[in-house]
Structure formats: structure tokens, C-alpha cells
């Protein structure tokens, strides 16, 4: 009796309007927009309906079907299996890619004809597969039977009024493991969700829509107290179960619908290099020292010199000045260009000033250095920087450019920031990070306010051999060279 | 004027692409499109897009394209085996992996590419190549060109002027081929010669062939003339307009989703990571101070990453701890010179600061990096 009532109301549901066709996320986009399909072919509907209603609930193990390699064309009988996209135990849907085979310059993607679970792969990689012979064994649902040889026409999607949910109870729900997980995370019973996929398979969108409906059902009461129905043509809806949740304006917290998953992957390459370097840096007791530099004069100087450098084919930034000034400072405070040995017994004062420049490339952080800055002119430093930058962005820096550094500068200001806390790169003992240049108001000698180009610098040094006073004096010297570039002329060698 | 016709063509094209089943007034079967871009990744992405999104039941498409210098390897090939990657990097020549099978080719603006799109059922490479030969003969009847049963087109019975590859999907298929008009043969032969020794792999090997440009046979020929002749022959055979619709591979409105496809083709994981498993067994000599030493290197590379690695050095030339640290760090890393360099130099920071040690280390690492 109940079955008959359900059947009748089901038919009514079908007779009414119907579906919002869901565009599946699979590859063949056929540009189908929302379509309204009237399911008037009641006989077809009844048939599939019967299948749903009268199926026994327990479904035993499915039937194993051998999926044969279909004809490639051009009379080809054998191909080589080049890549498997699935492995034994994976579940597949119809049209999912199974493998890639190659035959005589043609690469063929073999897609599944069935939904089911892969039970056996008949070939290993690089083996020859034969047309007409089994490629994989797929276990398909007993309830569905073997799909016909031609492409199966998609069954019309069902309407998802609530009362049709009852009809689906007792029916084995089809859903991929990802969809099942999503349902479980949100405490949804799959039997309560109407599937719109092939053969009523439940898709991710169905779960999301089901969740949205739970909360969307709570609408603010309109002035006339009318209920706004979800589908336009619902006049013939039987009164009973539909309005159950609609009138209640209780604020219910929206369940978080988030189907993202954590992804774990091993650390390799650039990240591994950083892990190594920074873990070693932990052993160094850092102290920081920061200051602000007035670069007004330097900015002007650079503007004058830029075109000259351009004529010689070199792009002149601020870095060459910073680097040269640092080298001049290191001449007075050589302990900042030193290295402490592992046992902290000896300190080595390095003769060359190989000043490293932190570079941000596509793959990550890389620190090439300019060799022997102490004997280079500002122009030579600029030219060398250009070369390193070009190689760095092309990913072609050699070991020689990346090793042997004695002191490092990081111009993070090109991206942003003011004060930072840079980490010393062993085996060095100091590092400086430069913030962005900002135009700020400052007082000059006469007590007047003027526009100053201010940049912040943050130094970090190894407190085992460097003390605050040394760092401060070095910073002051470096600052004085940059605030008054003419003074660099006095000490240039 | 060109711009206006370009716009008109784009609009027509977007109509075609959006309503595949709608009848298009002048074409009943064939559509000829030409890319305005010379970027190999963008053009390959157009092929992917048409293959994935166009309904070809009532229509066939001919796609004409040319690329700025690039090396294109087949779907299942090994770039280390096929070309001189170092030279490519130096000369800034792009490396792309296409989705169709077949061998490695060098593209530049003197080479034209033709892609024939049909349904899977109508996939027929010989017909397409015969069409090309017919077009060439119509243009220059004295040309001795013919199609071999390996789907190559030979000039004067000995020089290869065209190579072929194909991709078959569930419902659609495409067959594309090159045509050498005026490519730089010197660069071609130097980049397609792999210097890497000791590679063992099941990847599809390329079959080297002597090539010749059509331009050498007849200096009056240009790429534009060839493209035009082929388009005309195609139009005739498919009873359609000889009208070439220009297509911009960066235009998302006409080709929604195309930029994502372009990006995917450029990822390291696609270009290098799709290389079938291979192994490297090689040895080299290092001359250091007064001695020369033999170094043996064995590596297994899967998905472009080093799965297993072994470096045989004379004992004590490097501290054993450092050597095993190197091996341990290489394992799992990309088989890529840039990554290896970064790792090697990072490792150097945390070992004793000894100039001699540093020189040896750098020397060893540089030689290993040369293998990549």
C-alpha cells in the first residue's frame, strides 16, 4: 500500500516541472545551460522507479566484467601501455581515463565504459596490449547490469522534493569515496540525498545542495507571511510535508561546507636547502640592531647616474651603493666579515668581501654573492648584479656564484616592509635586511620640516663574537656613507 | 581592416564554438583556424581545448600554427635522451611536451604545424598527409614529395620534410604534422643531439632523419604560401569556404579555460615529471691538483625525481659523512640542475670551512649537475 502511494506521488512529482541540469565536471563540456525537461514518458519513469522501489536492500558482490581494449582504428592490433591512471582497488566512473597507450606515433587515452571498481590490470607498463583482449577487470554493481556497447544515454535527473527521499530509502546509494567522506564529515545520510548523477549516483554538488537547502530553508518571514517556494512551478505540490521547516525563522548556524583536504608532501629541493641552512642558523645566538637611513641625497645621485650606466648597458639600482658602502664599513670592522669555526675556538677573518644578495626566484630563496667587492667599483658591482639576477631568474646560477659568501644583504624592501629580523646564513656572522624607501617628514638642521627618503635597516649579528657596540659603529659608518655619498669618495680605493 | 576582419572572425568562431550543433552558414563540414600566437604552450593548449571541448560530429577542423624556437617532445619521451637541455637553456629555447605520441621535433618560425581534428571514427592520417602532398604539388608541380608508410613526407625520396603524431581520445582525435619550409637546420641538428650518456630508458626514442627545407628546393616558397595552399586544398576537399579564422590562444571569452591549459603545459611536473622511469649509469674524471680521479654515478629517476642515488668516489677524497649527506639530499629531489645546485651549496654552509674541501665539493657537484 505504501509502495503504491509512494509511486503515485512520485509520478506526480515527475509530471511537474523538473530539473536543473547539472553540468558535470568531466571533460566534455557540451555547452548545455539550464534545461527544463518534462519527464512525460511515464512508462520509462515507472520502469526506473520500479527498479528503485522494489530492489532488495542487500546488494551482494558485483559482477566482474572484462573491459576489452577497443579498436584504435587504421587496422592497428597492438599498442604499448605507457601510463596507468588508476590502480587495482580504485573506483572509476564511466568516461574516467584508465590508461594511456601508444601505437606508432599515436597516443590514445582509454576511458572506462563502466562504473565500478578496478579489480585487475592485465598489463604492466611498457607491455604490449592487444586490441580485443581484456585490458582491465572492473567489478560493477550487480543491480546495474552490464552497460550496452554503445554510449549510454544519460537518464533524466530527478526532482529533489523532500518527499521523494523516502522513496529512495533501502536503495543502495552510489557515490565515490570522496563524496561519501564529505557526507560523513557533515553528518548526512546518503539515503537522504537525491543523486543527480548517472543512475542516481550522488555527486558532490548534491551533497552541497542538500546542505544549502538545510539552511536555505530558513528564510526571513516576508510581510505577508507567504512561503517562497524553491522551484517556480510548484502549485500542484501536495500540501503535507513540504512546509515543515520553512516558516521557522530560527537562526541556525550554517554548517561549514568545506571539502578541502590536507595535503602532505615531502620537502625537497629549495625548501630542503632552506631547512638545512636555517636549522644550522639556529645554533647562532642572534642579536638585532635597527636604524633608519636618510637616502635623500643618494636618491638624487642615482637618478643622475642611471642614464650613464644605461649607456654602458647596465641597470643601476640602489643595491650596488649599499653593497659598496658595506664593504667600506667591513674594512674598518673586519670582524663582521669573519667566520667562527665549529668548536668556537677560532675566528677566521676573511680577506675577500664576498657580499651575498638574497634573491627571490620562482622556485624560492637563493643567495648568490658578488666576489671581492673590496676591489670593485660601484659600476662593476652593478654589472655583476645584473648578471647574477639574469642567471637567477633563469635558474642557471652555478655553484661558484652560490658559495663563498662572507656577508649578506637582503633587500626585502623591494617587496615591502620596514624592520625585519633577518636570519644569519652560516658560516657568516652578520646579515642586513633593507626595508622599503618611504617619503617621510623629517627635521633638517635648521629645524624645518622637509621631505626625506627614509629607509630602515635591520642588522642581525652573531653575539658569540660580535658585540652591540661593534654592530652599532659599523651601522653608523655605513649610514654615513649612504646619507652623504660624497664621503664615499674619500675612502674609495 | 585586418583588425576588423579579425574581430569578425573571432565572433564567428565564438559562435561556432558555443553552439556546435547550430548550423554555420557557410561551412558544412570544415573549419580552418590559424593561431595569432607563436608561443608553443599557448598553441598546444588550443589543441587540447579543441580536443576536449569541441563537438566534431558534424564538423572537422584544420588548425594552422607556427612557433618561435622550441623543442617539442612526444608524450612518452625522455627530454634528456632527446635533446641538449643545456643548449636549450643557454639559447633560451623553450621545451614543451605535447600530448600526442611520436618523436621530438624542433620548431621555429620557418616550420609550419597543421592539426587535423576529427571524430575518433573519422581518424585517418594517410588521407590528411595525402591532402598536404596534393596541396604542395598544386603549388609547385615539380616538387618530388610523397608520403611514406611511416607517415613521413619525404622530399626527393630522401629528405624528411614532415613528421607526424596523433592523439586519440574517447570521442575526438587529432593528427598533427610539421612541414619544414625555412627552419634553421643548424640549430635543429645541434639541439636535437643529446650529450647525456649512460641513460637507460623505455621512453619512446626518436628516429633521426636527414631533413631539408622546402625553401632550399625552391627559394620562392614562403610559409604563408604553404599555409594558404594547404588551407585551400582542405577547403576544397571539405566543400567549405576557403576562409581562415584567426584565433587568439589567450582569449578566455572564445576559449574558456584555455589559460589554465596553457599553464599546465608549462609546469615542471608536466614537461619533466611525465618522463617515464629511467636510470643513469655514468662515470667521469675529475682533475684536481695533481691527480685525476674516477667518479661513478648511478641514479634512478622516476617522475623526474631522483629515486635512488649512488656516488662512487675514491675513499677519503671527501669526508664520507659529507658524501652520504649529498646522496641523502639528492634522493627525492628533482633531476634538475637548479635544484641540485641549491641543495649542494646549502649543504656546504654546514660543513667545515676548509677552502680545499670547498673546491673539491664544488668540483664534484658541478660534474654531477652536468648530467642534468
The string of pLDDT tens digits covering residues B123-174 is 888 999 999 999 999 988 998 999 998 889 999 999 999 999 999 988 899 9
Residues forming a β-bridge with B281: B298
Q: Virtual CA dihedral for A124, A130, A131, A136, nearest 10 degrees?
A: -30
Mutate to test the interface with A, among B341, B343, B347, B354 (most CBs of A within 10 A): B341
C-alpha distance from A394 to closest chain B C-alpha (Å): 8
d(CA B39, CA B163): 20
| Cβ distance of A399 and B358 shorter than 8 Å | no
Confirm if A202 and A175 have CB atoms less than 8 A apart. yes
- Is the ipTM here above 0.90? no
The per-residue pLDDT for A332 is 94
Give all strands (DSSP E) within chain B, no chain letters: 30-35, 60-65, 70-73, 94-97, 105-107, 111-119, 145-147, 153-155, 159-162, 164-168, 172-180, 199-201, 244-247, 278-288, 291-302, 305-312
C-alpha distance from A111 to closest chain B C-alpha (Å): 6
The residue in chain B having the minimum alpha-carbon distance to the alpha carbon of residue A29 is B53
pLDDT of B1 strictly over 50? no
| Cβ distance of B341 and A398 shorter than 8 Å | yes
* A467 labelled catalytic: yes
Count helices and strands (H / E) in chain B: 13, 16
The per-residue pLDDT for B42 is 95
Helices (H), A350-485: 378-394, 399-402, 468-483
Any idea what DSSP says for residue A124? -
| Cβ distance of B341 and A402 shorter than 8 Å | yes
Mutate to test the interface with B, among A399, A400, A404, A429 (most CBs of B within 10 A): A399
Question: Residue B76: which of A102, A274, A276 has the nearest Cβ?
Answer: A102
| Cβ distance of B166 and A107 shorter than 8 Å | yes
What percentage of chain B carries pLDDT values higher than 90? 48
At B12, is the pLDDT very low, low, confident or very high (cuts 50, 70, 90)?
low
Give all strands (DSSP E) within A23-130, no chain letters: 63-68, 78-84, 91-92, 97-103, 106-111, 116-121, 128-130
Mutate to test the interface with B, among A24, A81, A108, A462 (most CBs of B within 10 A): A108
Quick: pLDDT tens for B74-104. 999 999 999 999 999 888 899 999 999 889 9
C-alpha distance from A397 to closest chain B C-alpha (Å): 7
Per-residue tens of pLDDT for chain A, all 493 residues: 444 444 444 445 444 444 444 444 444 444 444 444 444 444 444 444 444 444 444 445 678 888 888 887 777 888 889 889 888 888 888 888 889 888 888 888 888 888 888 888 888 888 888 888 888 888 887 655 444 444 333 333 333 443 334 334 445 567 777 777 777 777 777 777 777 776 677 777 777 777 666 654 433 333 443 334 444 444 444 444 444 445 566 666 677 777 788 888 888 788 888 898 899 999 999 999 999 999 999 999 999 999 999 999 999 999 999 999 999 999 999 999 999 988 888 899 999 999 999 998 888 889 999 999 999 999 999 999 999 999 998 888 888 899 999 999 999 999 999 999 999 999 999 999 999 999 999 998 899 999 999 999 999 999 999 999 999 999 999 999 999 999 998 887 7
C-alpha distance from A236 to closest chain B C-alpha (Å): 35
* A271 labelled catalytic: no
pTM of the model: 0.73
Give the count of beta carbons closer than 10 Å to the beta carbon of residue A461. Answer: 27
Q: How far does Cα A131 stand from its chain's mean position? A: 40
Question: Residue B362: which of A31, A266, A400 has the nearest Cβ?
Answer: A400
The per-residue pLDDT for A142 is 60
The per-residue pLDDT for A214 is 61
Quick: pLDDT tens for B299-346. 999 999 999 999 998 888 888 888 888 898 899 899 999 889 999 888
Mutate to test the interface with A, among B17, B56, B101, B123 (most CBs of A within 10 A): B101
Q: Identify the three-state secondary structure at position B197.
A: coil
Look at the block and give the residue holding cell 620596514. Answer: A418
Residue B110 φ then ψ, to 5°:
-90, 10
| Cβ distance of B353 and A341 shorter than 8 Å | yes
Q: Which residue has better confidence, B46 or A213? A: B46
The residue in chain B having the minimum alpha-carbon distance to the alpha carbon of residue A338 is B353
**What is the average pLDDT score of chain B?**
87
Confirm if B73 and B97 have CB atoms less than 8 A apart. yes
A67 class by beta-carbon count within 10 Å (0-12 exposed, 13-18 middle, 19+ buried): buried
Question: Residue B204: which of A102, A273, A403 has the nearest Cβ?
Answer: A102
* Options A41, A104, A243, A467, the catalytic residue: A467
| Cβ distance of A73 and B120 shorter than 8 Å | yes
Q: How far is CA A73 from CA A77, A131, B169, B237, in A?
A: 9, 10, 12, 22
| Cβ distance of A425 and B349 shorter than 8 Å | yes
d(CA B209, CA B155): 12
| Closest to A83 in 3D by CA, of B234, B303, B313, B279 | B303
Question: Residue B168: which of A109, A396, A404 has the nearest Cβ?
Answer: A109
Q: Which residue has better confidence, B32 or A217? A: B32
| Closest to B172 in 3D by CA, of A78, A80, A29 | A29
User: How many residue contacts between A and B have a Cβ separation below 8 Å?
Assistant: 158
Look at the block and give the residue holding cell 645546485. Answer: B341
With beta carbons under 8 A apart, name residues in chain B contacting A82: 75-76, 276
Amino acid at each position: 500500500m505504501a509502495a503504491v502511494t509512494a509511486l503515485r506521488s512520485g509520478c506526480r512529482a515527475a509530471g511537474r516541472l523538473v530539473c536543473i541540469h547539472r553540468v558535470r565536471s568531466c571533460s566534455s563540456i557540451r555547452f548545455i545551460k539550464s534545461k527544463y525537461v518534462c519527464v512525460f514518458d511515464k512508462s520509462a519513469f515507472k520502469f526506473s522507479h520500479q527498479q528503485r522501489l522494489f530492489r532488495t536492500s542487500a546488494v551482494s558482490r558485483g559482477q566482474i566484467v572484462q573491459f576489452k581494449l577497443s579498436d584504435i582504428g587504421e587496422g592497428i592490433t597492438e599498442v604499448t601501455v605507457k601510463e596507468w591512471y588508476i590502480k587495482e582497488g580504485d573506483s572509476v566512473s564511466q568516461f574516467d581515463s584508465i590508461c594511456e597507450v601508444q601505437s606508432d606515433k599515436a597516443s590514445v587515452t582509454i576511458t572506462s565504459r563502466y562504473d565500478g571498481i578496478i579489480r585487475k590490470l592485465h598489463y604492466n607498463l611498457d607491455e604490449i596490449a592487444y586490441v580485443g583482449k581484456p585490458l582491465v577487470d572492473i567489478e560493477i554493481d550487480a543491480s546495474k547490469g552490464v552497460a550496452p556497447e554503445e554510449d549510454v544515454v544519460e537518464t533524466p535527473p530527478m526532482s529533489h522534493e523532500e518527499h521523494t527521499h523516502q522513496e529512495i530509502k533501502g536503495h543502495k546509494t552510489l557515490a565515490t569515496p570522496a563524496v561519501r567522506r564529505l557526507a560523513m564529515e557533515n553528518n548526512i545520510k546518503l539515503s537522504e540525498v537525491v543523486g543527480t548523477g548517472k543512475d542516481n549516483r550522488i555527486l558532490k554538488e548534491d551533497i552541497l545542495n542538500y546542505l544549502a537547502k538545510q539552511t536555505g530553508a530558513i528564510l526571513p518571514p516576508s510581510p505577508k507571511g507567504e512561503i517562497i517556494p524553491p522551484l517556480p512551478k510548484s502549485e500542484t505540490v501536495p500540501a503535507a510535508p513540504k512546509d515543515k521547516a520553512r516558516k521557522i525563522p530560527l537562526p541556525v548556524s550554517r554548517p561549514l561546507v568545506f571539502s578541502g583536504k590536507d595535503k602532505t608532501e615531502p620537502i625537497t629541493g629549495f625548501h630542503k636547502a632552506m631547512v638545512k641552512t636555517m636549522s644550522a642558523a639556529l645554533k647562532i645566538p642572534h642579536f638585532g640592531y635597527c636604524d633608519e637611513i636618510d637616502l635623500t641625497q643618494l636618491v638624487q645621485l642615482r637618478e643622475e647616474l642611471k642614464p650613464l650606466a644605461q649607456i654602458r648597458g647596465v641597470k643601476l639600482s640602489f643595491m650596488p651603493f649599499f653593497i659598496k658602502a658595506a664593504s667600506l664599513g667591513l674594512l674598518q670592522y673586519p670582524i663582521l666579515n669573519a667566520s667562527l669555526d665549529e668548536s668556537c675556538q677560532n675566528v677566521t677573518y676573511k680577506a675577500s668581501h664576498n657580499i651575498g644578495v638574497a634573491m627571490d626566484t620562482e622556485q624560492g630563496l637563493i643567495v648568490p654573492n658578488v666576489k671581492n667587492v673590496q676591489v670593485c667599483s660601484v659600476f662593476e658591482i652593478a654589472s655583476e648584479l645584473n648578471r647574477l639576477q639574469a642567471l637567477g631568474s633563469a635558474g642557471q646560477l652555478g655553484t661558484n656564484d652560490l658559495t663563498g659568501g662572507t656577508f649578506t644583504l637582503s633587500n626585502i624592501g623591494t617587496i615591502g616592509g620596514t624592520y625585519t629580523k633577518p636570519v644569519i646564513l652560516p658560516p657568516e656572522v652578520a646579515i642586513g635586511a633593507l626595508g622599503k624607501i618611504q617619503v617621510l617628514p623629517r627635521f633638517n638642521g635648521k629645524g624645518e620640516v622637509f621631505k626625506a627618503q627614509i629607509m630602515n635597516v635591520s642588522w642581525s649579528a652573531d653575539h658569540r663574537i660580535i658585540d652591540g657596540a661593534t654592530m652599532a659603529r659599523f651601522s653608523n659608518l655605513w649610514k654615513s656613507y649612504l646619507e652623504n655619498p660624497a664621503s664615499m669618495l674619500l675612502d674609495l680605493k | 581592416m585586418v583588425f576588423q576582419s579579425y574581430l569578425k572572425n573571432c565572433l564567428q568562431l565564438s559562435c561556432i564554438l558555443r553552439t556546435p550543433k547550430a548550423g554555420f552558414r557557410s561551412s558544412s563540414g570544415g573549419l580552418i583556424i590559424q593561431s595569432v600566437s607563436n608561443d608553443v604552450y599557448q598553441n598546444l593548449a588550443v589543441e587540447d581545448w579543441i580536443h576536449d571541448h569541441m563537438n566534431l560530429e558534424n564538423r572537422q577542423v584544420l588548425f594552422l600554427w607556427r612557433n618561435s624556437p622550441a623543442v617539442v617532445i612526444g608524450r612518452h619521451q625522455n627530454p634528456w635522451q632527446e635533446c641538449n637541455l643545456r643548449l636549450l637553456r643557454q639559447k633560451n629555447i623553450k621545451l614543451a611536451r605535447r600530448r600526442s605520441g611520436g618523436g621530438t621535433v624542433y620548431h621555429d618560425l620557418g616550420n609550419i604545424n597543421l592539426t587535423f581534428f576529427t571524430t575518433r571514427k573519422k581518424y585517418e592520417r594517410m588521407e590528411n598527409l595525402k591532402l598536404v602532398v596534393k596541396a604542395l604539388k598544386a603549388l609547385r608541380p615539380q616538387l618530388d614529395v610523397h608520403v611514406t608508410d611511416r607517415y613521413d613526407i619525404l622530399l626527393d625520396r630522401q629528405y624528411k620534410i614532415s613528421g607526424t603524431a596523433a592523439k586519440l581520445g574517447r570521442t575526438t582525435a587529432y593528427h598533427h604534422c610539421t612541414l619544414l619550409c625555412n627552419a634553421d637546420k643548424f640549430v635543429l641538428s645541434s639541439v636535437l643531439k643529446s650529450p647525456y650518456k649512460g641513460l637507460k630508458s623505455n621512453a619512446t626514442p626518436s628516429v633521426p632523419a636527414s631533413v631539408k627545407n622546402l625553401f632550399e628546393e625552391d627559394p620562392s616558397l614562403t610559409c604563408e604560401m604553404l599555409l594558404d595552399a594547404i588551407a585551400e586544398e582542405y577547403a576544397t576537399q571539405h566543400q567549405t569556404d576557403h576562409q581562415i579564422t584567426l584565433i587568439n590562444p589567450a582569449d578566455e571569452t572564445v576559449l574558456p579555460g584555455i589559460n589554465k591549459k596553457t599553464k599546465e603545459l608549462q609546469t615542471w611536473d608536466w614537461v619533466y615529471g611525465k618522463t617515464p622511469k629511467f636510470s643513469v649509469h655514468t662515470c667521469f674524471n675529475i682533475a684536481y691538483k695533481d691527480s685525476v680521479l674516477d667518479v661513478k654515478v648511478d641514479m634512478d629517476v622516476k617522475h623526474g625525481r631522483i629515486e635512488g642515488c649512488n656516488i662512487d668516489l675514491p675513499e677519503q677524497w671527501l669526508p664520507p659523512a659529507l658524501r652520504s649527506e649529498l646522496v641523502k639530499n639528492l634522493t627525492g629531489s628533482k633531476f634538475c640542475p637548479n635544484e641540485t645546485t641549491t641543495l649542494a651549496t646549502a649543504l656546504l654552509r654546514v660543513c667545515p670551512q676548509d677552502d680545499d674541501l670547498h673546491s673539491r665539493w664544488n668540483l664534484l657537484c658541478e660534474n654531477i649537475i652536468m648530467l642534468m
